[in-house]
Chains A and B, each alone.
Chain A
Amino acid sequence: MLKIQELYKSYTFGNTIVPVLKGINLEVKAGDFLAITGTSGSGKSTLMNIMGLLDKPTRGHYWLENKEIVHYNDDELAAIRNQKIGFVFQSFYLLQRFSAVENVGYPLIYRHISQKEIRHRSMEMLEKMGMADRAKHHPNELSGGQQQRVAIARALIGKPSIILADEPTGALDAHVSKQIIDLLLELNQQEGITIIIITHDANVAKRCKRHVIMEEGILTTDAINLH
């Protein structure tokens, strides 16, 4: 599904080069549910951005569904993001001007799907998330948990091969946080969707199938959680 080999990333600030990822090796199989933890500054967000094709590595290899995507151009990367990857962010990142159902359907606009079809699929997806009755509400009329459900619906609408969740419960209280993780687990178990979560919450990490720990730009621990 996803394979990373000897991946390096460094940022240049003026004359100083700051290495962030120092040789990452990681393989994620289809149907995996992986948690990446680590202290802030360990490089986990950078890794997530590269896996999400929002950023490019300085060097190394990255295969997504057996395709080496390091040399893809910007348009091709956008198309892969649209079709293969679903993002879930800490602060939801919904478009404030649009209703829940419009937010969910937005990725499909870039696939030239008819307005009617988009609406239909978005409603179906919201129903699945238990949010059908909130379809016409705008993000500011929804609670944090509800917004994150809408965001997950948006991530799923394009039938991606992988969901990348960057601190998906970071802005939610413990109770709602548990519900969101339940939802992700359910999606993983029932539909076999591959999910990678970045988190600093040990409780969240414990519930994932697999847990890797990142320290100063390298992966130090890779463990399978036995439930």
Chain B
Amino acid sequence: MLLTYIREAFHNLYAAKQRTLLALIGISVGIGAVIALISIGVIWGEEMMREYSQLNPNVLNISKSWKDKNKHTYISLEDAMLLPKHTNTIAEVVPVIDEYGNFLFNNQSGSANLLGVMKSYKDFNKLHLKEGRFISDLDHNQNYVVIGSMVLEEELAFNTFKGKLIGSNIKINNRTYTIIGILEQTSFSWEAQYSIIMPLSTAQRYLNKNHISSIIARMKPQVDYSIAIEEVKQYFMKRKNMIVRAWAEKKWLEYIEKQTEMQTLLLGLISSISLLVGGVGIMNVMLTSVIERKREIGILRAIGARKRDIRRQFLAEAIIISLIGGIIGSGLGILSSYIVCWFNEWQFFVSGVAIWLGVGISSLVGIFFGFYPAYKAAKLNPITALRSD
């Protein structure tokens, strides 16, 4: 019997080709829009996560809080170095001195961030070197610097001095330093890329700074960052009566994850408006069909069709239109998300959620928007239906 409904439905839909085609276009575009936007959302989210995974989820950034109004307190080197020893959650720290300075390189003058750091700064920030090496513990007090990829003008650094940058001299605040390394550009190392990096001891000595600007702390494995933050805050409060701000990079990850989920949901909601329009299109076509086929409904009732036979017949037609629309729409949606990925150089994949939604939503649309016309058809009085032209 089900097969009969389906066969009849195809027969009827084919008989009204033009109307079927219009309804099909409407629903295909609707479902296509939903699938395209949702898969773009999902793919984009993956892309974001891939990029943000370069953040180090185990790292806390600690600095004096603006809430602390006492101008005389600061983080000392000792405060920083004792942190792992006096807390249960912090495994390792890198104190950072952060200054602003001027430099002169081969007649190019400019200003840049000057960072005094230790060797593990590189790993904590997942930095890579394009050329040369990073600061090591043996560079104590040496006038060595590693420069970020955005410090020097591209033309100068990568054409004129191609291959000769390492070992060249650079003047910073009128003192001469030797370049020992150049950073490679990565997505989440803006600070380092715009900075000239030197050993912490050198920075303390020549930049006239005796306090630490910030601490990068690596938490022990499996430690909840909020517990670590609390502990660090208490440490500084006890030790120096100082308020510090601690920020976990993992928070960023969580935030981004939530954000992309929200965006995908929003995209889905917006696109479902077009789905609604497509569904109303189906309803319209089915209602017209019911009116046009009144006589036929009357005949079928006379030869023994029950109300539910008529209802199923019309419902089958609506569902078939929307399922075919769902298949075409899924194709359209996947294709357009592929095009968007291609233009944005994102990694394309067919999202399982999108396929699932395609099939699910299209049959739901068929049932939802097909039900009323089918109900109307079944409710027709057989005699009135027979007498209509």
Contacts and interface: CB of A to CB of B under 8 A. Distances in A.
Interface of A: 49, 52, 54-55, 74-75, 78-79, 81-83, 87, 89, 93-95, 97-98, 106-107, 109-112, 154, 158
B301 A78 contact: yes
Interface in B289-308: 295-296, 298-308
B299 A95 contact: yes
Given A94-B299, A111-B304, 19 more contacts: A49-B383, A54-B301, A55-B383, A74-B307, A75-B307, A75-B308, A78-B301, A78-B304, A79-B304, A79-B306, A81-B304, A93-B295, A93-B298, A93-B299, A97-B11, A97-B12, A97-B15, A110-B304, A110-B306
B80 to A, nearest CB: 84
A112 B1 contact: yes
Given A93-B386, A95-B296, A110-B309, A87 B303 contact: yes
Contacts of B187: none
Contacts of A111: 304
Interface string B202-238: 0000000000000000000000000000000000000
Nearest to B304: A82
Contacts of B307: 74-75, 78
B1 A78 contact: no
Contacts of A107: 303-304
B382 interface: yes
A56 to B, nearest CB: 11
Interface in B262-310: 295-296, 298-309
B108 interface: no
Contacts of B302: 52, 54, 81, 87, 93
Contacts of B12: 97
Contacts of B383: 49, 54-55
Given A75-B307, A97-B15, A110-B309, A54 B382 contact: yes
B4 interface: yes
Contacts of A94: 299
A83 B304 contact: yes
B156 to A, nearest CB: 80
A34 B389 CA distance: 29
B382 A82 contact: no
Interface string B1-35: 10010000001100100000000000000000000
Contact of B305 (A83, A87, A110): A110
Nearest to B3: A115
Contacts of B308: 75
A182 B303 CA distance: 24
Contacts of A109: 4
A158 to B, nearest CB: 8
A78 B4 CA distance: 18
Nearest to B5: A109
Contacts of B15: 97
A110 B11 CA distance: 17
20 contacts: A52-B302, A54-B302, A74-B306, A74-B307, A78-B301, A78-B306, A78-B307, A78-B309, A81-B302, A81-B303, A82-B303, A83-B304, A93-B298, A93-B302, A95-B296, A97-B12, A97-B15, A106-B303, A110-B303, A110-B305
B9 to A, nearest CB: 12
A69 to B, nearest CB: 14
A89 B301 CA distance: 14
A158 B308 CA distance: 21
Nearest to B389: A91
